[in-house]
Amino acid sequence: MRHLMGIAALIVVLLSGLAGCTIVDSATVMVGPQRAAIDASQVKIYRTPPAKYEEIALITAKAGHDFKDDQSLMNSAIQRLKEDAAKLGANGVLLQDVNSRTRGFAATGGGDGYNDVSGVAIFVP
Instruction: Summarize pLDDT for 28-87 with one digit per residue, the tens.
Output: 999 999 999 999 999 999 999 999 999 999 999 988 765 666 788 888 899 999 999 999
Give domain status of residue 46, yes or no.
yes
What pTM, to 2 d.p., does this model score? 0.73
- Residue 19's pLDDT is 47
pLDDT band at 25, cuts 50/70/90?
Answer: confident
Cα(102)–Cα(119) distance, rounded to whole angstroms? 22
Give the angle subtended at the CA of 79 by the CAs of 76 and 80, to the nearest 5°. 85
pLDDT greater than 60 at residue 20: no
16 vs 11, residue with greater confidence: 11
- Quickly list DSSP for 21-53: --EEEEEEEE-S-------GGGPEEESS--SS-
Q: Is residue 74 part of a domain?
A: yes
Rounded average pLDDT over 21-34: 86
Asked if the structure places residue 105 within a domain, the reply is: yes
Q: Residue 79 domain-assigned?
A: yes
38 domain-assigned:
yes
Residue positions counted in the chain: 125
pLDDT, position 103: 58
- pLDDT score for 2: 58
Q: What is the CATH number of the domain that holds 79?
A: 3.30.110.70
Establish if 3 belongs to a structural domain.
no
Identify the DSSP state of 64.
E
Number of domains in the chain: 1
Say if 84 falls within a structural domain: yes
User: Which of the four pLDDT bands, split at 50, 70 and 90, describes residue 106?
Assistant: very low
The residue segments making up the domain with residue 54 are 22-123
pLDDT of the residue at 42: 98
Tell whether 17 is covered by a domain.
no
